[in-house]
Amino acid sequence: MKYLLMIWSNPQTWGHPIFLRTTEAAAMTDDERAGMLRDFEELLAEISESGELVTGQALADPITARSVRVRDGESVVTDGPFVESKEQLAGYFVVDCASPHRAEEIAGRFPDARFAVVEVRPLMDGSEQDL
Amino acid sequence: MSDAIATDELWRSVTPQVIGALVRRYRDFDRAEEAAQEALLAAAVQWPEQGVPDDPKAWLIRVASRRLIDGLRSDEARVRRELADATQAPADDLVAPPPDAVGAPGHDDSLTLLLLCCHPSLTPPARIALTLRAVGGLTTAQIAHAFLVPEATMAQRISRAKQRIRESGAEFRMPPPDELPARMSEVLHVLYLVFTEGHTASSGQRLHRIDLTAEAIRLTRQAHILLPDDGEVAGLLALMLLTEARRRARTNAAGELVPLAEQDRSLWDTAYIREGVALVTDALTRTRLGPYQVQAAIAAVHDEAPTAADTDWEQVLTLYGVLERLAPGPVVSLNRAVALAMVEGPAAGLAVLEDLAHDKRLAGHHRLHAVRAHLLELAGDAESARESYLLASRLTTSIPEQDHLRRRAEAL
């Protein structure tokens, strides 16, 4: 089963990796930050080596977002993201895991889960099993 | 059938025997598997031009051995030990055997290879990928496409699986007799997962993808030929055939799911039903009972009913009772509740669901709510049925099933 992991974050400044730009990370020692980065790289190595990582990308600063609405056939483009909240979508991963439990375990190992939230959502498919 | 398809069938059926022969000789699963793939590619290029060799298996083993030895030569660290092994190989392992020698030893290798690919040190997705590549002879690209993941992801999964097998120190030999039943049950589970994964394709994409259900049936058929007295192998093959028999009736012209009770039974594949029924009947009468045989028997009861109303629910209920004892699980209990409702009325089924709802594994599962909706509908409680259908439709991750459940709700 495939899952979308949405990385939500509330950074002081936008950048990659986003978890290092948070207030919480700024309050850490250099060693703590380096350790967090190492954990994250280990996680990425583990899920790419296991063949669970399908794809993943960091998103650009929400300041670059454009929201497109078509009303009465007219397209209206506004600056900024659709969702106005403290936390912003900072990146996404698609993982293909043996169980939902495993997807949650991976989500919990993203440093971002400590500061904001990593949302796990199964992807829909076209399965046509007997009812 | 075109020559190209015949050739494809031919070389995929000999793939496990080629890999098996190489692993047995060189004790290096990773390289053997790579070399066999290269030999298959060479065959794909040469056979259409030069014709299929008289003994395709021997040709593939010869070419693959050459590739494998070339690979070993370029690997200085290992060259001495591996070549020493190779030179100790009886010469006829590496060249075409006499025509009368083809057969028996290769068959043993296929089963050993299947067991190795489903090794307990691997995760289920890794077992599936490795089985399809090494035993099924599919390319990494075909497997990746079938599972809707990038080729790099699938390549990584396969190479990690091979590395894992190497690290685990697993040897290329049959497990001891006391371990064989447990190992075979892992193999059957993998084949069953390949089969169910085959239902994940949406009909539009299926045209361009390897048909995983057909692939699972082919591999299970091979296993059944190798182990004709294993009732669970026969049971699984029967279950697949009896399920696949209904494929054309499972969706209508609009691509919508059609539940069993409403399927046009004239569309069912009678040849598959005959074969499945014969297989499971034979297994039930002469082998030890197991869960796949019972599931196949349940499928057979449905497939043999001329109309939905003719279904022998008493027998289905008895069989689910047996299955619940052999292989207890929330989904089995759920299915038994449906059979109970059909025999004793919806209230009896709903009472069982009340208990099942406390099972954590089922509480958020769409199927619990779909079944409850169905039983409430039978009981005449349209409003509660509608709510349960809508909740089930929100919980499922299958688009066709979601559409179906919503249509049910709207019809109330």
Neighbour count for residue B224 (Cβ, 10 Å): 18
**Closest Cα in chain B, distance from residue A111 (Å):** 23
> Which of these, B121, B137, B127, lies nearest to B7 by C-alpha position?
B137
Query: B197: which residues sit within 8 A by CB, 6+ positions away?
Result: B128, B146, B147, B212
Burial (CB count <10 Å: 0-12, 13-18, 19+), residue B234? buried
Tell the burial category of A117 from Cβ atoms under 10 Å away from its Cβ (0-12, 13-18, 19+).
middle
Question: Which residues lie below 8 Å from residue B192, measured CB to CB, with a gap of 6+?
Answer: B216, B236, B239, B240, B292
Residues from chain A contacting residue B199 (CB–CB below 8 Å): 127-129
Does the distance separating the beta carbons of B199 and A127 come in below 8 Å?
A: yes
| Beta bridge mates, A57 | A92
Interchain CB distance below 8 Å, A124 and B402: yes
Specify whether the CB–CB gap between A128 and B398 falls below 8 A: yes
Question: Is A1 within 8 Å of B397 (Cβ atoms)?
Answer: yes
Q: How many CB atoms lie within 10 A of CB B383?
A: 9
Whether B234 is covered by a domain: the verdict is yes
The verdict on residue B355 lying in a domain is no
Q: Spell out which residues of chain B touch residue A98, defining contact as CB-CB under 8 Å.
A: 123-125
**DSSP per-residue letters across B339-395:** HHHHHH-HHHHHHHHHHHTT-HHHHT-HHHHHHHHHHHHHTT-HHHHHHHHHHHHHH
Q: Is residue B283 part of a domain?
A: yes
Q: Reduced to 3 states, what is the DSSP secondary structure of residue B27?
A: coil
CB B110 within 8 A of CB B93: no
Q: A31: which 2 tokens?
A: 């060693």
Domain final residue, candidates B272, B291, B306: B306
A13: left (phi over 0), alpha (psi -120 to 50) or beta: beta
Contacts of A48 in chain B (CB under 8 A): 156
Residues of chain B positioned with their CB less than 8 A from the CB of A2: 148-149
Q: Which residues contact B207 (CB under 8 A, 6 or more apart)?
A: none
Terminal alpha carbon distance of chain B: 48
Of A48, A53, A129, the CB nearest to B199: A129
Low-confidence ranges of chain A (pLDDT < 70): 131
For residue B126, the chain A residues in CB contact (below 8 A) are 50-51
Residues B347 and B376: beta-carbon distance below 8 Å: no
State the smallest CA–CA distance between residue B108 and chain A in angstroms. 30
CB pair distance less than 8 Å for A127 and B123? no
Would you call A49 and B158 a contact, using CB atoms and an 8 Å cutoff? Answer: no
How far apart are the CA of B150 and the nearest CA of chain A, in angstroms?
7
User: Which residues of chain A have a CB within 8 Å of the CB of B125?
Assistant: 51-52, 96, 98
- pLDDT value for B177: 87
User: Is residue B404 domain-resident?
Assistant: no
- Given an 8 Å threshold on Cβ–Cβ distance, is A126 in contact with B124? no
Alpha-carbon B237 to chain mean position = 9
Q: Are B178 and B260 within one domain?
A: no
Buried b (16+ CB within 10 A) or exposed e, A5-23: bbbbbbbeebeebbbbbbe
The residues of B whose Cβ lies within 8 A of any Cβ of A are 123-126, 129, 147-150, 153-154, 156-158, 160, 196, 199-203, 205, 243, 246, 250-251, 257, 259-260, 370, 397-402, 404
Is residue B166 a part of any domain in this protein? yes
The whole-angstrom separation of Cα B162 and Cα B30 is 6
CB contact under 8 A, B398 and A123: no
Sign of the torsion formed by the C-alpha atoms of B75, B77, B78 and B83: positive
Q: What is the pLDDT of residue B1?
A: 41
Give the 3-state secondary structure of residue B263. Answer: coil
Domains within chain A, CATH numbers bracketed: 2-122 (3.30.70.1060)
In angstroms, the CA B301 to CA B316 distance is 7
Task: List the domain range (segments joined by +) for residue B249.
Answer: 228-306
**How far is the C-alpha of B43 from the C-alpha of B7, rounded, in Å?**
9
Q: Is residue B388 part of a domain?
A: no
Last residue of a domain, one of B284, B306, B328: B306
User: B193: which chain A residues are within 8 Å (Cβ-Cβ)?
Assistant: none
Looking at the structure, tell me whether residues B47 and B67 fall in a common domain. yes
B81, B138: one domain: no
B188 close to B125: Cβ distance less than 8 angstroms: no
Q: Could A122 and B404 be called an inter-chain contact, meaning their C-beta atoms sit closer than 8 Å?
A: no
Chain A residues whose beta carbon lies within 8 Å of the beta carbon of residue B251? 128
- Chain length of chain A: 131
Mean per-residue pLDDT pooled into runs of 10, chain B (412 residues): 62 82 83 84 82 87 86 62 51 44 54 91 90 90 87 91 88 86 92 86 56 91 92 97 94 90 96 98 95 97 96 97 94 95 97 90 88 96 97 92 94 94
Q: Answer whether residue B172 is part of any domain.
A: yes
Residues of A in contact with B243 (CB under 8 A): 130
Q: Which residues contact B338 (CB under 8 A, 6 or more apart)?
A: B349, B371, B374, B375
Provide the pLDDT for residue B145.
86
Per this entry, what is the length of chain B?
Answer: 412
- Same domain flag for B18 and B85: yes
Spell out which chain A residues touch chain B, with contact meaning CB-CB distance below 8 angstroms: 1-2, 48-55, 96, 98, 122-131
Half-sphere exposure of B340 (CA within 13 A, CB side): 17
DSSP B259: -
Count of domains forming chain B: 3
Same-domain pairing of B16 and B65: yes
Last residue of a domain, one of B53, B81, B102: B102
Torsion of CA B58, B61, B63, B69, to 10 degrees: -140
Measured CA to CA, the distance from residue B395 to residue B182 in angstroms comes to 34
Q: Please give the interface size between A and B, counted as residue pairs whose CB atoms are below 8 Å apart.
A: 83
Is the residue at B296 inside a domain? yes
B359: CB partners within 8 A, 6+ apart: B330, B333
| Closest-approach residue (CA) in chain B for A102 | B123
Residue with tokens 């082919």: B218
Task: Tell me what pLDDT residue B10 has.
Answer: 74
Contact call for residues A13 and A21 (beta carbons, < 8 A): yes
Domain check: are B84 and B117 in the same one? Answer: no
Question: To the nearest whole angstrom, how far is the Cα of A57 from the nearest Cα of chain B?
Answer: 15
Q: Are residues B161 and B146 in the same domain?
A: yes
